[in-house]
Chains A and B, each alone.
Chain A
Amino acid sequence: MNLRSIIWQELKSRPSAVIFNSLTILLGVAALVAIRHVTVHSEKEVSKQLSNLGANILVLPKDATLQNYYAADQNGGSLPEEHVAEIYLAGLSGVEQVSPRLNVATQVDEHAITVTGILPQSEVEALASWQATTMFMNTTDTGCCQRTNVVSAQQLASPQALIEHRAIQELDKNAIVVGADIAAKLGCKAADRVELFGEKFTVLGILPTTGTVDDGRVFAHLHEVQRLSESGATCNAIEIVGCCEDAAGSLVPQLQELLPNAKIVTISQVVQTQVGVNQLMAKTSWIVLAVMMVVGGAGLAGAISSNVQERRREIGTLMALGATPRYIQQLFLGKALLLGLAAGAIGCLLGVSAALIVGPAWAGVSVTPLVGTSLLAVLLATFVALVAAWWPARRAAQLDPCICFREV
């Protein structure tokens, strides 16, 4: 028999009280852990998507939102494809790569998929050449391109370039490049024939898994997608790779002037918006934590206080048998410690489980357990429990031991 076993036996004798007393802390920890997991993974996902995006300027329809862009949602409207030519004709300095995109929803073997129309770089370059513009590779004239984003035709040769550089050098009109998830769903591989919009296409290649929306897309030639979806010469977005951040900065007002009916968004704006949302979520999670912990701590303090009141004669008896005030204090602090640890650990497990389910389902991000966050949450719960129990435990230690002789 020792302090630990006395605490443990007392806890075991009142399991419902234990659960009830620590429920608020448990739920607080679960909420915190779940929100933090989703937030952190959301930040990572944004960072990954931005990295994969490659472009540092987006030209979107006036009414489109970033969600429309990421979700390949056409409800945001469309842009005339001729904007691509207009951008070239304007001879804006610093433009290195222009990639128009048109997203169209369709079905293949009862699977809903998004077909993204893209213009191969060989045709873009031909257009540029035809327009006699000299902006491509014109890195020295602008004086800004210390870090060039220009990639060679060789680098754009394979379908994987769509992932790495957001462009492909050549794409026949009867060829498609398939995202990893869609390829798995359709069970197709390179050189297979897949029917889209009632016509057969040859699979040029399967993209590696990226963890982004690209996994669920099929890439085809822009003009074929326009023809088959009867969209006309339109696109949903034009991705522009500027040669450097300074160029991107000066490009925006020029592009806004050039395309007054379009929305020009820079990556920095995207980052700021997404980071702002994530920061808001992070702050919200701390507010939730604070509220839950205050309520949970107050609840536990009340419960321990009642426990001290109920056990006054037991406390007096223990003191009569030789327990010191310090021992009595440890008896209640030890109980709080166990409750805090248990509530923290179970809350953490619940929170992580919730994040694993809710993350992909509601926020569209895959979540993996964060050890540091989880440990911090358990420690925090334990700390709150100890602080909550401090005063009642101290009061118990100061009880008059002669209470053991009274009928209480």
Chain B
Amino acid sequence: MIQLETIAKQYSGRGQKLTAFRCEALTIEDGEYVAIVGPSGSGKTTLLSMLGGMLSPSTGRVLVDDVSLYDQSVAARSAIRGQKMGFVFQSFNLIPYLSALQNVQVPLSFAKLSAEVQQQRATELLVDLGLSERLHHRPAELSVGQQQRVALARTLVNDPQIILADEPTGNLDPTSKEVVLKIFDECHQQGRTLVVVTHDPSVAERATRRLTLVDGNLVDSDEIETSTLRPASAA
């Protein structure tokens, strides 16, 4: 479970304080599929960064499984991210000098798993995502859709409970976008928590809950009852 308590993020500049995000209280239950929508500059990425333990709020607390993220050390937050969270980026953020297989192995290396286990898990996941012929290709040698699938494999390889996605389909063609959304649906069905920042209404529609941000304020929250997508545990 993710909880935000009286959170605000302010930036200072030119003698002024700009509030990028503000929220009195927000709870995201385990297994929820949440879409965060809003125009550019509304604070979506700021919220996602704070949820991921990567941007400390100016005030308030972020709790993940009742642990206050920003009361932990930087190293402890890194460990929490490595164990519980997976990130999906709009530009995939694959490491250019590593092969697809090596990119997927990176999060496993932080978990201190042996090279054999790393290779086995990463290979299985890439094969499942239809990339068996591309294991040793570097990102520059892959299509955009393949790059996003490698990035998804990297996100999922540590079996994270929480997936945080920033415009995951922003750079994809319709076919690749559908592949990604199907994977998200599967993750949701497996009981993982998904928080997806998106501009795209069709992506937001797949979520069970939508949060709308305008000028850094969480102004609207609606819960969409979609029994087909709701995980078994939450039904």
A-to-B contact residues, CB < 8 Å: 1-3, 5-6, 9-10, 12-14, 313-314, 316-327, 400-402, 404-405, 407
Query: How far apart are the CA atoms of A122 and B87 in the complex, in Å?
Result: 98
> Does B75 interact with chain A (Cβ within 8 Å)?
yes
CB neighbours of B87 from chain A (8 A): 317, 320-321, 404
A61: shortest Cβ distance to chain B, in Å?
A: 70
CB neighbours of B107 from chain A (8 A): 321-322
> Does B82 interact with chain A (Cβ within 8 Å)?
yes
> Does B232 interact with chain A (Cβ within 8 Å)?
no
> How many interface residues does chain B have, given as a range?
35 or more
Partner of A321, one of B45, B81, B91, B97: B81
Partner of B54, one of A3, A14, A324, A400: A400
A32: shortest Cβ distance to chain B, in Å?
A: 33
- Chain B's closest residue to A8 (CB) is B97
CB neighbours of B81 from chain A (8 A): 319-322
Partner of B110, one of A313, A323, A401: A323
The segment out of B11-19, B33-41, B98-106, B187-195 that lies at the interface is B98-106
> Given the known A-B contacts A324-B74, A324-B75, A405-B166, are A319 and B54 also in contact in the complex, defined by CB atoms under 8 Å?
yes
Q: Are A1 and B78 in contact (CB under 8 A)?
A: no
Q: Are A404 and B93 in contact (CB under 8 A)?
A: yes
8-58 of chain B: CB within 8 A of chain A = 45, 48-49, 52, 54-55
Q: Are B98 and A317 in contact (CB under 8 A)?
A: no
Partner of A1, one of B45, B93, B102, B158: B102
> Does B118 interact with chain A (Cβ within 8 Å)?
yes
71-125 of chain B: CB within 8 A of chain A = 74-75, 78-79, 81-83, 85, 87, 89, 91, 93, 95-98, 102, 105-111, 115, 118
Query: How far apart are the CA atoms of A401 and B75 in the complex, in Å?
Result: 12
Q: Are A324 and B93 in contact (CB under 8 A)?
A: no
Q: Are B78 and A405 in contact (CB under 8 A)?
A: no
Q: Are B55 and A1 in contact (CB under 8 A)?
A: no
**5 CB < 8 A contacts A-B:** A6-B98, A9-B102, A319-B78, A324-B74, A404-B54
Q: Are B78 and A324 in contact (CB under 8 A)?
A: yes
CB neighbours of A317 from chain B (8 A): 87, 89, 93, 95
- Chain A's closest residue to B95 (CB) is A314
> Given the known A-B contacts A9-B97, A405-B48, are A1 and B74 also in contact in the complex, defined by CB atoms under 8 Å?
no
CB neighbours of B75 from chain A (8 A): 324-326
Partner of B55, one of A14, A322, A402, A407: A402
> Given the known A-B contacts A1-B106, A322-B111, A327-B110, are A402 and B54 also in contact in the complex, defined by CB atoms under 8 Å?
yes
- Chain A's closest residue to B74 (CB) is A325
Query: How far apart are the CA atoms of A400 and B55 in the complex, in Å?
Result: 7
B54: shortest Cβ distance to chain A, in Å?
A: 4
CB neighbours of A12 from chain B (8 A): 97
A122: shortest Cβ distance to chain B, in Å?
A: 82
Partner of B105, one of A1, A314, A405: A1
CB neighbours of A318 from chain B (8 A): 95, 106
A406: shortest Cβ distance to chain B, in Å?
A: 8
Q: Are A405 and B98 in contact (CB under 8 A)?
A: no
Max chain B C-beta neighbours (<10 A), residue from A2, A5, A317, A404: A317
Query: How far apart are the CA atoms of A402 and B108 in the complex, in Å?
Result: 21
Partner of B109, one of A2, A313, A407: A2
- Chain B's closest residue to A398 (CB) is B74
> Does B149 interact with chain A (Cβ within 8 Å)?
no
Query: How far apart are the CA atoms of A5 and B154 in the complex, in Å?
Result: 17
Q: Are A321 and B48 in contact (CB under 8 A)?
A: no
Q: A317-B89, A321-B107 are in contact. List 11 more A-B contacts (CB 8 A).
A: A1-B102, A3-B109, A9-B98, A13-B96, A314-B93, A317-B95, A319-B78, A321-B87, A322-B111, A325-B75, A327-B78
